[in-house]
Structure 1
Amino acid sequence: MLDAWWFWLFVAVMVFWSVGAYRRLVGLRTAVNKQFAVLEELMLRYQALVQEATTAAVTSPSGWQTAVSPELGASHWTRLQVAANLSAMALARMQEHPLDPSSSIALVATSRDLQAAWEALTHPDVYYVSVPAELTQRWAELGISIQPDLQRFNQAIINYNDAIDMFPATWMARLFKFKPGRILE
């Protein structure tokens, strides 16, 4: 059997196929990491906006205090800062493990909390807290500008997951412990 030419042809084809499948999976995983690096840079801008808004609130003539009810304004600012800190921690964890589903779930949840905290702070019913209009505008613009990169990241995850699910590449994925990722919703 070892003298048969077809056996060695089969071994050569399998070796080359295995190397090619592995390189494709590694390349797709690298593409996910690159897309996340771009997305991360944009998501860090939210942290900068929160910092600018907090600084603007602290340096305003009334500071955290308001004439109507000091504790109401402080609770909104505290909620925003806590949400920003949790979002930054989730972002750091996602940076280490961009394909880990639990990292994705945590980042999505903390990003939603951050968005909810911002919306609560800038809601018209919260008339006793003032956020500069420029910062509110920049927040809205960032939300729009992040969408294309978020879609590219999600598409990279989908491509990676599809490659792992393809029949022969599934064996390589299992052998080298390539786990599917989760898209950011």
Structure 2
Amino acid sequence: MSSGETLLLAIAAVLVFWAVGAYNRLVRLRHEIARACAPLEAQVRQRDAALRAWVGALRPVLEGADTPADAVLAAADQVLVALDRLRLRPTSARAAASLRLADDTLSAARERLLAELPSHLHSPRLSGASLEVAGPAEELAAAASALGFSRAQFNATVDQYNEAVLQFPTVLIASLFGFRAAGPL
């Protein structure tokens, strides 16, 4: 074997090892997104339970104005459906956008419900109805805070994966094997 053939063989071996390493890195980062989806799912479900308890505590106070409460529960159902889609395909940008949109819809519905609340629930002097709502409201606030942390971790993992997918020369391996950029929340 001539020195030119040996050099060519060495270059080919280095390229193959690099390609295998780049592919394995992309697979590992994609799996990390799936792993980051599990705590996110748990926090969304915990917030959902707290939200439903909060709405249940508010129903007697709303005095027949069920429409805003029903809108919150319908939006919460949409969030759970979008979450199930994301759980099945955690790197899908479309599934992440769907969950983001459903969460925005839920936030808007909650704001409309808060606007409907009687003024005595907002006063610093707690009435009996305010005391009944305070516990579920605190649980909801804690669940929302924990969800924010899980969402930040998920987004950081997605950003790391997306950087790897778009980085040259790894982008060549990514396009060859169908790795696509994931969607943040």
Computed over aligned residues only, the root mean square deviation of the Cα atoms, in angstroms, reads 2.4
Residues 7-16 or 131-140, more deviating: 131-140
CA displacement 1:130-174 (0-9 Å, x = unmatched): 671111111122222222221111111111011011111111101
Matches within 5 A, 1:1-185: 4-56=5-57, 66=63, 70=64, 73-123=65-115, 125-127=116-118, 132-184=133-185
**Residue type at the aligned position of 1:136:** A
* CA distance in structure 1 between the aligned counterparts of 2:47 and 2:107, rounded to whole angstroms: 9
CA displacement 1:12-53 (0-9 Å, x = unmatched): 111111110000000111111111111111011122123323
Contact 2:47 2:147 in 1 (8 A): no
Greater share of residues in helix: 2
**Residue type at the aligned position of 1:27:** R
Contact 1:94 1:103 in 2 (8 A): yes
**Residue type at the aligned position of 1:109:** L
Q: Structure 2 stretches of 5 or more lacking a match?
A: 122-128
Percentage identity across paired residues of the two chains: 26
Normalising by the residue count of structure 1, what TM-score does the alignment of the two structures yield?
0.84
How many aligned positions are there? 174
Normalising by the residue count of structure 2, what TM-score does the alignment of the two structures yield?
0.84
* CA distance in structure 1 between the aligned counterparts of 2:147 and 2:49, rounded to whole angstroms: 15
* CA distance in structure 1 between the aligned counterparts of 2:137 and 2:155, rounded to whole angstroms: 27
Residues 94-103 or 131-140, more deviating: 131-140
Q: Structure 1 stretches of 5 or more lacking a match?
A: none
After superposition, the Cα gap between the structure-2 partners of 1:149 and 1:181, relative to the gap in structure 1 and judged at 3 Å, is: same
